[in-house]
Chains A and B, each alone.
Chain A
């Protein structure tokens, strides 16, 4: 993987120009310290990335080679057989569709709900604000395991165990997202803009939709990615709520492969790689969007 090569190839403690003053003070000590820092960081990098590289490489190995001793990072011979088997013998695309679909719905709903509530808290004064805010704040310390059983009963008994509904329920109103939106709105949306929209006769919701949401777009992307990851990666809730194998999400699908008697590690590794592609892609998107949001906030704030 190129990231690792790039990282380990240049741990040379060449100090950038800004450090000249310090170098003159004690060049040797500084260089030693800098070298140690790079060494430590690169060692950590290996700890963080090696398992992933190894799994990626394993997904291209023949079944018997995955556990070969000594372990190797280069699959030889490399094969796409694992991927082909996974996609032909398992309903992978169905798992994938349900996971992506429900995560997408949960994301859209929660982003909208959080943006609205965040806007309400960031830009208005109203009676009961402190207490309502405190109530929301305290909901951060409610463990999901507590509401797991009542929520399960609620969803099952009310006949809503349709996975498309059930799988989005826990993710639609995260207090976390409201804080995030509130912070972004305070930072990125000047009051004057809202005042002038009002003077122009815009309705409150019209202002929100036409002025606030467009300005918030980069932050909405960031929140969206966070919501998406929460839902897409969730394991415990789908595990209790989905009993019909035809409605499995990706994590549940991978779990049956993994927990099966013969531990089809070849398939499991290929599945793990495929399952991780959307989240990693989405993470790359998150970074870009956040940078844009920052620039926008800095220019206007």
Chain B
């Protein structure tokens, strides 16, 4: 992909109000043609502040997490070295297994349900001559600018068994009995999945819409001339055209959902029982409710390894960061 492509893909994304970069061949744009100036020490001076902060608040904490994960520490006194015991304990901890399984569900919801929904909505919004495109775009995006606590409390009012809007509406409209949305293990997971969808789908739609608007119209005309049907056109023109942004959307959705904390913590406190606890919540509980800092750090390292490995795999699979 050339630099011209980059500026093209970038522009509609920016107009869409998304504040994220568009990931068209990053390594390429960084490494190949764009850097034209030779500045001696200057470029290092420009990137230095980032790397200083990065080392201080990212690299050092990660190394510290690795060391801490090999110790037993309650937050006071000196950590006691215990080797890999924390990891051995995690392997047999049923709470951790539940947390991992739940986080897997959240990532699947994000990648298999939310991302395709966003693409569908973007397709709809991309229809030629659509009126009020901007209104829809803004309305779908608004949840993303709200605080998770605000969203959680609105939805706790909606899902409430006795007084909630959802049950009240279902009762008033169809006379249905009240359902305990947040009190049933399966329904609670579904409710959290729905809130995740509600909060993120509009944001992702912005990316897809930008990508779709960037697919050259001539390609669609060519496909139409060739007599390609809808499915054919989608597979042969749309999918390749939006691939870089889709890859980015999939990877960031995965990473976001893998570390989901706010929704389970606020909406269900991880319950009923541990039915909705996520890995991030498991880490939080171990550290800040039970003072098992070493154990929590080990769980963090496991999460890190999984997320890092999967996202690198996805990057490779989807071709992020490749030169062409």
Q: At the interface, is chain A mostly helix, strand, loop or mixed?
A: helix
Complex CA gap A236/B140 in Å reads 25
Chain B residues positioned under 8 Å from A52 (CB to CB) = 142, 146, 154
When the two chains form their complex, are residues B53 and A150 in contact, meaning their CB atoms are under 8 A apart? no
The interface-forming segment of A39-47, A74-82, A83-91 is A39-47
Once bound together, how far apart are the Cα atoms of A253 and B150, in whole Å? Answer: 11
Identity of the chain B residue whose Cβ is nearest the Cβ of A188 in the assembled complex: B7
- Interface size class, chain B: 35 or more
Contact residues in B for A290 (Cβ distance below 8 Å): 14-15, 17
Q: Are A294 and B15 in contact (CB under 8 A)?
A: yes
- Indicate whether B88 reaches chain A with its CB closer than 8 angstroms: no
Determine whether the beta carbon of A204 is less than 8 Å from that of B149.
no
Interface size class of A (residues with CB under 8 A): 35 or more
Interface mask (A15-29 → B, CB under 8 Å = 1, otherwise 0) = 110110000000000
Does chain B have a CB within 8 A of A265? yes
A297-B7 contact given A132-B47, A143-B258, A169-B57, CB 8 Å threshold: yes
Nearest-neighbor residue (CB-CB) of B309 within chain A: A141
Is A275 interfacial (CB-CB < 8 Å)?
yes
The answer to whether residues A286 and B19 also contact, given A37-B130, A294-B14 and a CB cut-off of 8 A, is yes
Partner of B124, one of A41, A67, A225: A41
Residues of chain A within 8 A of B7, CB atoms compared: 186-187, 297, 301
Please state if B124 and A37 are interface contacts (CB–CB under 8 Å): yes
Residues of B within 8 A of A293 (CB): 14
> In the complex, A199 Cα to B265 Cα: how many Å?
57
Q: Which of A7, A114, A146, A178 contacts B301 (CB 8 A)?
A: A146
Let me know if B21 and A143 touch, CB within 8 A: no
For the complex, give the distance between the alpha carbons of A132 and B51 in Å.
Answer: 9
A250 contacts the other chain (CB 8 A): yes
- Most chain B CB inside 10 Å of its own CB: which residue of A147, A176, A179, A290: A147
Q: What residues make up the interface of A, taking CB atoms closer than 8 Å to B?
A: 3, 6-7, 10, 15-16, 18-19, 34, 37, 40-41, 44-45, 47-49, 51-52, 54-55, 58, 66-67, 69-71, 112-114, 116-117, 119-126, 129-130, 132-134, 136-154, 169-170, 172-173, 175-176, 178-180, 182-184, 186-187, 191, 194-195, 198, 204-205, 208, 219, 222-223, 225-226, 229, 232-233, 235-236, 239-240, 250-251, 254-255, 258, 265, 268-269, 272, 275-276, 279-280, 282-283, 286-287, 290-291, 293-294, 297-298, 301
State the 7 A-B residue pairs at the shortest beta-carbon distance, nearest first: A120-B46, A226-B19, A179-B21, A124-B43, A67-B163, A150-B64, A150-B61
27 A-B pairs (CB sep. < 8 Å):
A48-B140, A48-B143, A48-B202, A51-B155, A70-B168, A116-B49, A117-B47, A120-B43, A125-B38, A129-B43, A130-B31, A141-B255, A141-B307, A143-B258, A145-B283, A146-B65, A147-B65, A149-B297, A153-B68, A169-B57, A179-B21, A208-B46, A265-B153, A283-B145, A286-B17, A287-B138, A290-B17
